[in-house]
Chains A and B, each alone.
Chain A
Amino acid sequence: MSNKKLSPTEGIKINSDGLRGTLKQSLKDGHTGNVRPDDEILVKFHGMYVQDDRDRRAERAEKKLDKFYSFMIRLRIPGGIINAQQWQSLHDISEQYGTGTLKITTRQTVQLHGLLKHQIRPTIQAFNTAALDSIAACGDVNRNVTVSAHPQVSPIHQQVYEYADKISTLLLPKTQSYYEVFVDGEKIYDRSSEADPLYEDRYLPRKFKIGIAIPPSNDVDVFTNDIGLIAVIENNELRGFNIAVGGGLSTTHGNPDTYSRLATVIGFTDTEEKTLKAVYEVLTIQRDYGNRSDRKLARLKYTVDRMTVQGFKEELEKRIGFQLQEERPYTFTERNDRYGWEQNSAGKWYYNLFIENGVVQPHQKEFLYKVSKLEISNFIFTTNQNLIIGEVESENKQAIQALIDEYAIETNQSGIRKSSMACVALPTCPLALAEAQRYLPELVTKIEPLLAKHGISEEEISIRMTGCPNGCGRSYVAELGFVGTGPGQYNFMLGGDRYGLRLNKIYKEKLNEQQILEETDNLLLQYVNERTNGELFGDFTYRKFFSNN
């Protein structure tokens, strides 16, 4: 598209021989816990990031030890559902390799941290045995496809859920290098069968995210995805999908060319074939038109804006060979998970468990393992980093309830805590500028008394924190958003709505904890004094500080 010099990552992808690079040699290098520099890029495509324990850097250097490198591995679980046997495997693998912590992500999957290099192959092999993989869970490809996680909320959940798997499979890279490098070892795959008409040898310019929402719940934050599909339901039947393109939250501090953007609905498709076709061709447009020189400006949102929404839609219709229909009406009225027991239309029971910031606590992990041993349920990851024990027959409900009681799983958390979300950040995420997952619970504990003071303890104000401006914790679509700028320092974001339909904006920059608490106290006071009838906190702050009225 442009004559600008390609970013170095582009060369690494093209020369990677189907994402193989020098990974086999890297795994054998005995002097380092890391892989070779180019392979650091390639492991992402296989679902891993190299991380190092940043808390340990200085002291290890003193000890003449290299950085404490380890790998995060993230599974590809389209729609977030695994069965009980798979949970058992996941549990066992996490006990054997890595830190032992299961982390549920904001994209409806789970990741293990702290895998050492020599543990990668046995880990992936064990996952493979359990029919789980980490292909394309990271990297410049379509990532894990998310779907509203609540079968109990909508009778068409199963129907929509199947789209996640179909889309994920459709958009998988064709290379078999994952199996060659990590599973079978020496077996060499036939390269001619690896021809990839979608990704070719260059893959996408940047990561690509797809989410599918089933109204009335926008738990997936559908507009934060590169492609958002909104299920259109009439008379309890699935009619098709509104298609939205160009969502994405990440920005770069100090780079005014970067911005958060919510996806724009460009039309409606009414059959599976047309929907899949449209999704596929959005990727080919991004492949061909996306910015490959500057990775900070490479997401689909910039491509859409450069082409204009109208121009993008025309190019898409040219590629799919049919016109998109008019957008259909939809309404989102919730985004949080529905905690506790609920029953779906077919009479099955679902228990939604609160897992703060997705970090499964040891007693929760033990509880879940016991549940999985009963083999009377499945397990559903939610995009709010929680977990649902699902598809429980009425006669089995009591067995699970007994375990819930035994492990004291049912806790009475405040509305704001149940509406909180944080990314991993320090010490492992290489991008983090500030704490998130380790700190947000503490901050919430300090905000709870303020809510009580103003008599609004029940309010489910959404509060989200990310350690850097990349927005994995989706803090740009929160009522109280915190974006890390440096150690102990955050940009305070206000004006987002409760259901993920409006981005927030910077209210104050670089605040420390005390300033955050003072500001919050003051804002809550203004809110209780000045709110209109039924006005939610995010709508109030938007009206007060950002609307032109």
Chain B
Amino acid sequence: MLSENKLTLLQQLVANATDTEIIWTNGYLTGYLEAVKGTTTAPSIPALNNAEPKVTLKPTILYGTETGNSKKAASSLHAAFKKSKIQSKSTDIVQYSVSKLEKEELLLFVISTQGEGEFPLNAIAFYEELVASNIKLDNLKYAVFGLGDTSYPLFCNAAVLLNEALQEKGAESILPLVKSDVDYSEEFANWQQQLLNLLQNNSTAITVSEAPVKTTVPHKKDYKGTVSHKVILNDHGSNKQTYHIEITGDEDIIYEPGDALGIIPKNSYESVIEIIGYFTDSPDRKVTFKDKTDTLLNWLTQLNIKGLSKKTLSSIGELLGVNISYEKADLLDVLIENPVPVNIKIESLLELLLPIAPRLYSISSSAEAHEGQVHLTVNLNRFVANNKVKTGLASQYITDIPKKGEIDFYIHRNNNFRLPDADTDIIMIGPGTGIAPFRSFLAERDITGADGRNWLFFGEQHFTLDFYYQTEIQEWLNTGVLARFDGAFSRDQERKIYVQDRIRENAAEFNQWLLDGASIYICGQKAPMSLDVENTIIEVIANERSIPVEEAKQVLESLELEGKYQKDVY
């Protein structure tokens, strides 16, 4: 079919390509084909009918992000457009007003989904405004790329809802909605290529493909294991209760430093019995629900009854015939305050509840160094909600598992949080349980004898009570695995000292490490920690290099694009 020249070229290309490159090429060609196919059926976009090769369509990329992945993906798309001389802009959706939509030609959304199918914080306002508006978007073309996690109920729900809302307002989708799983990079590359093809190939019109909505098959493997050891790392008198938990798998657990462990917590027996009590029902009664029959006890053990969303709460309110105004309440909070009408059966409640979503914990061990075990560093989350002290479902569940107790889990790959080459220096900033992946990194670099220097920033409340893995850190300092350690203990003195203060104190050396090619890693609380740290790093770069802050921001952004600035924040 191909001419000899072309065939030789293709064969050479394939022979020299890595697996990933071949997969990518495959996607590229598929996308290309789909785009070509479309020419015969769909209406064309006027701007692209121009015979000139110049692209005049100016896409706007909007990202809705919680952890930064969508932003990262949007930046990569923006960069690819730039390279292909397509004028585009990439904007945080929080800064974008619905009223601007009418002036747009092509909008590209990259949006993640949180918790129970919710929008990321920065995108909620946009979505609500869009739904409420009377705007007509008949002239708007768009595409939505959703980031999600198939382990969660309502996978990529935010992307689905956004897509529906745009369609309802008359906008026209140029590519099918993509719902991508945790490892989104391949699918995103594919989507990006399809967009480039559409925008560059002026003989090709943009069209809605008939292809079915594609979702990735989850490639997660379930494991069973036992808790072989657990200990509270804090000394007596601490405000924190952080557990070090060691899990031994029934089989070899395959993971890399940076990965997380996923578990689906279960409700406590006591809380389920209490709920059933409100319906004067029996925990052992068999109930058929979603074509499955199980006891009430088992059903309720697996459905989410804590920190319910506004939506779930209002439908429970409807069921009980009351108006529920608060959000993030527990089912029990509602039941305690509102009597269940006698005619309401518990089955109607089950209908309203979603399965419990999995939770992720950064792994704090190295498979290599810790003989295949998985270690976790879990802070028992205590908080006040609706004037009650509560604990987090997942952290309570996992820390309640006794020694020798069983645990079901899976490994969540985190390809966006990986050690660099063995020779590259790394700076790790991990206050609190943010230290977890860095214990993994250090143990890994220790056992593999990696040459790169390692610098750890750690912080907590009190030096004597909350210094997680202190003796191990001391040993790494003794053996030179850690070149530097800086601790910030906020409550040991009147003025609170945080990790970013330590970075500032060591500005010259910090900058020098970056100039020497060090990669930066941040793990822990997103706000305020990671934001404060990021601003401090920008400040340090600006001051030390005597450049404007804007330029320093770009330095950090390009480090991020190169994969030399990675974050695992929550």
Contact = CB atoms under 8 A, between A and B. Distances in A.
A219 B266 CA distance: 70
A530 to B, nearest CB: 53
Given A32-B474, A116-B492, A118-B492, A63 B464 contact: no
Given A31-B477, A64-B469, A118 B234 contact: no
Interface in A1-59: 30-33, 56, 59
B467 interface: yes
Interface in A452-478: none
Interface string B233-247: 111000000001000
Contacts of B468: 64
Contacts of A116: 463-464, 492
Nearest to B465: A65
Interface in B476-533: 477, 485-487, 492-493
A61 B368 CA distance: 24
Nearest to B473: A31
B470 interface: yes
Given A31-B485, A33-B464, A65 B471 contact: yes
A68 B492 CA distance: 15
B232 interface: yes
Which of B471, B487, B492, B493: most chain A Cβ within 10 A?
B471
Contacts of B233: 63-65
A65 B468 CA distance: 7
A66 interface: yes
A31 B474 CA distance: 6
B231 interface: yes
B294 interface: no
A234 interface: no
B472 interface: yes
B235 A118 contact: no
A30 B485 contact: yes
B231 A63 contact: yes
Nearest to B467: A65
Contacts of B473: 31
A291 B32 CA distance: 91
Contacts of B493: 118
Given A116-B463, A118-B463, A66 B471 contact: yes
A60 B466 CA distance: 11
Interface in B238-260: 244
A118 B234 CA distance: 19
Given A30-B485, A31-B485, A116-B464, A66 B474 contact: yes
B26 to A, nearest CB: 48
Interface in A54-90: 56, 59-66, 68
Which size class do A's interface residues fall under? 10 to 19
A114 to B, nearest CB: 10
Contacts of B472: 64
Contacts of A64: 231, 233, 244, 468-472
Contacts of A62: 231
Which of A30, A31, A61, A66: most chain B Cβ within 10 A?
A31
A56 B472 CA distance: 18
A33 B231 contact: no
Which of A60, A61, A62, A65: most chain B Cβ within 10 A?
A65
Contacts of B469: 64
A323 B392 CA distance: 83
A31 B492 contact: no
A59 B234 CA distance: 11
A513 B413 CA distance: 62
Given A64-B469, A65-B471, A118-B493, A30 B487 contact: yes
Which of B464, B467, B485: most chain A Cβ within 10 A?
B464
A59 B237 CA distance: 14
A57 to B, nearest CB: 12
A56 B234 CA distance: 13
Interface string A127-151: 0000000000000000000000000
A97 to B, nearest CB: 11
Contacts of A68: 235, 464
Contacts of A31: 470, 473-474, 477, 485, 487
Nearest to A62: B231
Given A33-B464, A60-B235, A116-B463, A66 B487 contact: no
Nearest to A59: B235
A64 B365 CA distance: 14
Given A56-B235, A118-B492, A61 B486 contact: no
Contacts of A65: 233, 235, 464, 467, 470-471
Contacts of A56: 235
Nearest to B244: A64
B499 to A, nearest CB: 11
A65 B462 CA distance: 12
A62 B471 CA distance: 10
A62 B231 CA distance: 8
Nearest to A61: B471
A56 B237 CA distance: 13
Contacts of B487: 30-31
Nearest to B502: A30
Interface string A359-373: 000000000000000
Contacts of B467: 65-66
A54 to B, nearest CB: 15
A30 B235 CA distance: 18
Contacts of B474: 31-32, 66
B212 to A, nearest CB: 52
A133 B474 CA distance: 33
Contact of A63 (B232, B463, B492): B232
A62 B470 CA distance: 11
A44 to B, nearest CB: 22
Contacts of A66: 467, 470-471, 474
B502 to A, nearest CB: 8
Interface string B175-218: 00000000000000000000000000000000000000000000
A64 B469 CA distance: 5
A64 B232 CA distance: 10
B283 to A, nearest CB: 39
Contacts of B234: 63
A62 B235 CA distance: 10
A66 B244 CA distance: 16
Contacts of B232: 63
B486 A63 contact: no
Contacts of A33: 463-464
Contacts of B471: 61, 64-66
Contacts of B477: 31
A64 B242 CA distance: 12
A33 B464 CA distance: 8
Nearest to A30: B487
Which of B232, B463, B492: most chain A Cβ within 10 A?
B463
A68 B468 CA distance: 14
Contacts of B244: 64
A150 B234 CA distance: 49
A61 B472 CA distance: 11
A30 B467 CA distance: 10
A63 B244 CA distance: 8
B237 to A, nearest CB: 11
Nearest to A66: B470
A66 B470 CA distance: 6
A116 B489 CA distance: 13
Interface of A: 30-33, 56, 59-66, 68, 116, 118
29 contacts: A30-B485, A30-B486, A31-B470, A31-B473, A31-B485, A31-B487, A32-B474, A33-B464, A59-B235, A60-B235, A61-B471, A62-B231, A63-B232, A63-B234, A64-B231, A64-B233, A64-B244, A64-B468, A64-B469, A64-B471, A65-B233, A65-B467, A65-B470, A66-B470, A66-B474, A68-B235, A68-B464, A116-B463, A116-B492
Query: What 3 A-B pairs have minimum CB-CB distances, sorted nearest first?
Result: A30-B487, A31-B485, A66-B470
Interface of B: 231-235, 244, 463-464, 467-474, 477, 485-487, 492-493
